[in-house]
Amino acid sequence: MRLFGTFSLVARDAQTGDLGIAVASKFLAVGAVVPWARAGVGAVATQSYANPAFGPLGLTLMEAGAGPEDILAVFARNDPGLAKRQFGLVLASGESLSYTGSECHPWAGGRWGPNYAAQGNLLTGPEVVEALVQTFLNRADLPFPERLWAALEGADRAGGDKRGRQSAALLVVGQGKGYGGMERWIDLRVDDHPDPVGELGRLLRMHRLLFDRGEARLLETGEIAWLQSLLRSQGHYAAEVTGQWDEATEQALWALLGTENLEQRYQGGPALDEATLRYLRERFA
């Protein structure tokens, strides 16, 4: 079995109750194995000769009312290879646990506290886990997904997996926050990349652009004229550029935003949020 060196942070947002996992490794498609989460229940990261059953089993036990030590006991009874395993978990209550088996490859270890569990194996040293923890605790000013990513970036800069970089993932769940009302709010994976954590940050910014809804403001006459000119140049608008809003302008804007996958940011009428305006100006400069 291939060595599975990984560093991960499992966490809960104390303000919203959202749950998430940020993880990186010198391992192909780490996001397909390590992170498991269920809104209102908890989150689990399973790694180091990972036992994928720990994810669904841990969540089922949490949903049944088991605490962290109860879950560890069940894992121990059902997995004779527990000494090679590492996992972190956080319950919806904020209770947490990080476990590192005695046969995990050094450096290996973890830290946990209210609302977080940080762990890693095959790391350059304990400073990697320390960076996960300190960044998470000190960057409460950031939105929860960005806070998880920032912790991962800090750990990566501190040394990360001592074998190098390959993949990273970010999974965040929250009731009704995902596309179409799903609980899976953010599920981003970088499967094979020379700078997976940096690429994960780019994908998170793209996710925010495409799926967040900013506060729209009414467009000024000059902005409407600029938009009509843009819509004409892209083949969506055939009328004259007047600077006055009309049905043809709105239908053309819907068509352009649909092409750019930005339709979720638009609510109709002569109003757009600043992020959408900035994107259009930069994209079609």
Other Cβ atoms within 10 Å of 8 Cβ, number: 35
pLDDT tens profile 123-182:
999 999 999 999 999 999 999 999 999 999 999 999 999 999 999 999 999 999 999 899
Q: Give residue 4's pLDDT.
A: 63
Tens digit of each residue's pLDDT (9 = 90 or more) over 11-46 = 999 999 999 999 999 999 999 999 999 999 999 999
- Name, in order, each residue with C-beta under 8 angstroms of 11's C-beta and a sequence gap of 6 or more: 19, 20, 21, 22, 43, 90, 115, 116, 117, 136, 144, 147, 148, 151
Q: Is the pLDDT of residue 118 over 80?
A: yes
CA gap 175, 152 in Å, rounded: 24
Beta strands in 33-115 (DSSP E): 35-38, 42-47, 86-91, 96-100, 109-113
Handedness of CA 257, 260, 261, 265 (dihedral sign): negative
Please state, rounded to an integer, the average pLDDT across all residues of the chain. Answer: 96
| Element (DSSP H or E) covering residue 68 | helix 68-78
Query: Which pLDDT score is estimated for 71?
Result: 98
* Residue pair 179/210 in contact by the 8 Å Cβ criterion: no
Q: What digits encode the pLDDT tens for the residues 70-111?
A: 999 999 999 999 999 999 999 999 999 999 999 999 999 999
pTM over 0.85, yes/no: yes
State pLDDT tens for residues 205-257. 999 999 998 899 999 999 999 999 999 999 999 999 999 999 999 999 999 99
DSSP 8-state assignment for residue 161:
B
Under 8 Å CB-to-CB from 92, ≥6 apart: which residues? 12, 17, 19, 40, 41, 42, 62
Tell me how long the chain is. 285
